[in-house]
């Protein structure tokens, strides 16, 4: 992989890279289109990274269809699909992890202990092996993007990070590989995330600027849907991810909600 990148960079190409866990959907494809626009060669990786899943999470049940993914990647113009195997990437004795002090102690980091340590470690490994000029990440994983930007700055990676807006189904559900796990009824219930974000946006337009009050309304709205369990609903500063009390500047409203056993996340800049 590294040789391929080096060879094509020496020929004057800008290399774009998109790490994924596969089971590709329009959200991933939209990142790929961005990668193709920004660079000359596009590499994606497909690797379901064990170190970012906690005990009891869905590592073993994560959806997978490599043949379909290869076809989608080829159709859109990806040059390389890099699929490292687990034993090569985490050989026996593997013992080094990347961590961060502040940003992981918010949002998903609080309920998924060690998750971002796993994410930062795999992204670092992929960056070293793929050695891209540009990497594209989705704003759907808002906290992940913030953490990667911080890491790239702090550790002097010579890689330009591009954030890409959330891609949604026509009814507003944020696309996710995990949506495939929803039953038809849960799929409808899943709309309560985006609908609650839209409600919050319109509350704010009606001068309701108290974050706690908006969150309380959201808790009640989501709670009124069957089969839901709120992990968190937060209104926070987009850079530090610290809670905001009164909304007097752009904030990010972010949430994680279990619908049945499937954990969904969504966010919106208000
Ligand atoms: P994943 O395969 O879930 O690890 O996602 C790989 C990349 O695609 C990450 O940068 C995600 O943020 C991004 N991504 C996933 N779903 C979406 C979406 N609906 N819209 C935009 N980006 C997404």
Backbone angles phi, psi at 212, to 5 degrees: -60, -40
219: CA distance to ligand 1 center in Å?
25
pLDDT of residue 221: 98
pLDDT of residue 119: 98
pLDDT of residue 254: 98
pLDDT of residue 161: 98
Question: What mean pLDDT, rounded, does the chain reach?
Answer: 98
Q: Which residue has the CA at smallest separation from atom 22 of ligand 1? A: 138
pLDDT digits (tens, 9 = 90+) for 214-260: 999 999 999 999 999 999 999 999 999 999 999 999 999 999 999 99
pLDDT of residue 231: 98
Looking at 1.10.600.10, 3.30.1300.10, 2.40.160.40, 3.40.190.10, the CATH number of the domain 177-269 comes to 3.30.1300.10
Question: 2-164 belongs to which homologous superfamily?
Answer: HUPs (3.40.50.620)
Which ranges of the chain have pLDDT less than 50? none
Q: Kindly report whether the global pTM for this prediction surpasses the value 0.95.
A: yes
| Residue 87 to residues 84, 93, 185, Cα–Cα distance (Å) | 9, 11, 39
Ligand 1 pocket list (CB less than 6 A):
20-21, 27-28, 31, 137-138, 140-141, 164, 166-167, 174-177
Domain ranges of the chain: 2-164, 177-269
Beta strands (DSSP E) in the chain are: 15-20, 41-46, 80-82, 134-138, 160-164, 228-236, 252-259, 262-269
């Amino acid at each position: 992989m590294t040789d391929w990148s080096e060879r094509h960079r020496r020929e004057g190409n800008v290399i774009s890279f998109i790490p994924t866990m596969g089971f590709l959907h329009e959200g991933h494809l939209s990142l790929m289109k961005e990668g193709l626009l920004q660079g000359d060669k596009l590499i994606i990786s497909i690797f379901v990274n064990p170190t970012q899943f906690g005990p009891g999470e869905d590592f073993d049940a994560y959806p997978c269809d490599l043949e379909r993914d290869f076809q989608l990647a080829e159709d859109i113009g990806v040059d390389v699909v890099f699929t490292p195997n687990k034993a090569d990437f985490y050989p026996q004795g593997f013992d080094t992890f990347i961590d961060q002090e502040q940003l992981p102690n918010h949002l998903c980091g609080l309920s998924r202990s060690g998750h971002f340590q796993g994410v930062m470690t795999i992204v670092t490994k992929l960056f070293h092996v793929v050695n891209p000029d540009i990497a594209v990440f989705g704003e759907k994983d808002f906290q992940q993007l913030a953490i990667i930007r911080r890491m790239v700055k702090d550790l002097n990676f010579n890689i330009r990070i591009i954030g890409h807006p959330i891609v949604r189904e026509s009814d507003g559900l944020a696309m996710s590989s995990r949506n495939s796990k929803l039953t038809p009824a849960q799929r409808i219930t899943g709309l309560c995330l985006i609908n609650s974000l839209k409600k919050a946006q319109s509350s704010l337009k009606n001068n309701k600027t108290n974050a706690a009050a908006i969150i309380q309304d959201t808790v009640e709205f989501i709670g009124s849907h069957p089969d839901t369990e709120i992990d968190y609903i937060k209104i926070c500063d987009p850079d530090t991810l610290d809670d905001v009390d009164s909304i007097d500047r752009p904030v990010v409203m972010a949430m994680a909600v279990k619908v049945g056993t499937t954990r969904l996340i969504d966010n919106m800049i208000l």
